[in-house]
Amino acid sequence: MAIFQPIFASILKDSFQILENIPFRKGTKPAGLSKLQKDFSIVIPTRNRREDLNRLLSSIANQTLLPKEIIVVDDSDDNETRILTEHQNTDFQNKKVQLKYMRGDQKNRSISAARNIGARKSNGSIICFLDDDAILDKNYLEEIASVFETQTTAIGVQGYIVNYRTDSIFSNALNRVCYGFPRDYFEPNKCTAFPFVYPQPLTKLIECQWCVGANSSYQKDILKDFRFDENLAGYSLCEDLDLSVRLLNRYPHSLFMTPYAKLVHRGSPCGRVSKEKFFSILVQNTTYFFYKNVAQNLRNNIVFYWGFFIGRFVLRFAYHDAEGTILLAKAVFKTLKNFDSVKVCANFKPKIE
């Protein structure tokens, strides 16, 4: 964990300042929102992050548009999260918001499973999934609701993570060449699933190919037919990409990203897997996603395997990460050894072309 500490400390230091310095749209309050748009259920998977969750709950309590309910799905190893929700419950009751606590699936403690549990137990017309280490701007839910109100095809809507950005033009260019999927590169007003592109900057409402798991809202009726893939267990990397792509294949032009619903995703150091485990999940889950959701044509295979065998290693060398290079090599070897079982969903149709 020590290797991640400087990164997380820097994010924590800058997060609040970032939100304060970003300009906000004037006159954002949407007129005459329907019951659908007002009826939010917030689902928060969490594990061993009491303080992070407390910050998120505080930012929810300050929303200009309050949710109907908040569902905390707890995979923690202690009772701290339960104690926190009990302590916060009275304050939310005074705001006419139900704060519900439930335990996750102890046989499959994963973000995917926790989100599915929360979705099943929710009563709102819109389900907003948030990571426990997010911090919302006060207009966040109001702006998400506005998109559902104005975009008649909207099934899924996400806000904009203001601290998710490239470090430099050089690093962005390097990522663009190396295709270190699923962390590829940034472009203005563009959000695609393969290759992975996140907008920087985002200056207008756009259609997108995927909604980031850290903040994504969906119409509940749609989630009766779609679930987060619980084969992507534990850290569940790519579960957000997977759900978004399946939704978009059935309902084109249905996913949106708004620059006005702003949040910080702090990237908490608590509850993280080891660096070795992370690389194992990175290689395995991206391979699973690729064979499940991406058309197996020559171009896509060249892009994927360039990143798989060359690009990711180039990035590790470029950032002088000797330990990461070794761990990545071990993860690639492990995935290749179990290749057939990893790409078990390769027959899923239709796929990203």
Please indicate, yes or no, if residue 254 is contained in any of the structural domains.
Answer: yes
- Residue-averaged pLDDT of the chain: 86
Range of the domain at 260: 2-165+200-265
Q: Is the pLDDT of residue 20 over 50?
A: no
pLDDT of 37 strictly over 60 = no
Could you read off the pLDDT of 214-240 as tens digits, one per residue? 999 999 999 999 999 998 877 788 999
137 and 175, same structural domain?
no
Whether residue 39 is contained in a domain is answered as yes
Interval 259-273 mean pLDDT: 92
Is residue 3 scored above 50 in pLDDT? no
CA 113 remoteness from chain centre: 14
User: What pLDDT digit, counting tens, does each position of 166-177 carry?
Assistant: 778 888 888 888
What is the per-residue pLDDT across 42-68, written as a single tens digit (0 to 9) for each? 999 999 999 999 999 999 999 999 999
Q: What is the mean pLDDT of residues 341-352?
A: 54
Last residue of some domain: 231, 265, 299? 265
Q: Residues 228, 339: one domain?
A: no
As to burial, measured by CB atoms within 10 angstroms (0-12 exposed, 13-18 middle, 19+ buried), residue 221 is exposed
Domain count, the chain: 2
Q: What share of the chain is helix, strand, coil (3-state, %, to 5)?
A: 45, 15, 40
Task: Return the pLDDT at 124.
Answer: 95
Asked if 73 and 104 count as a contact pair (C-beta separation under 8 A), the reply is yes
Residues 260 and 330 in one domain: no
Claim to verify: residue 217 and residue 255 sit in the same structural domain: yes
Q: How far apart are CA 148 and CA 35, in angstroms?
A: 11
Residue 4 has pLDDT above 70, yes or no: no
* pLDDT higher than threshold 90 for residue 195: no
Is residue 50 included in any domain, yes or no? yes
133 and 278 assigned to the same domain? no
Split at pLDDT 50, 70, 90, the class of 344 is: low
> Do 119 and 170 share a domain, yes or no?
no
Residue 194 falls inside a structural domain: no
pLDDT in tens, 127-165: 999 999 999 999 999 999 999 999 999 999 999 999 987
Provide, rounded to the nearest whole percent, the portion of the chain with pLDDT above 70.
Answer: 85
Whether 15 maps to a domain, the answer reads yes
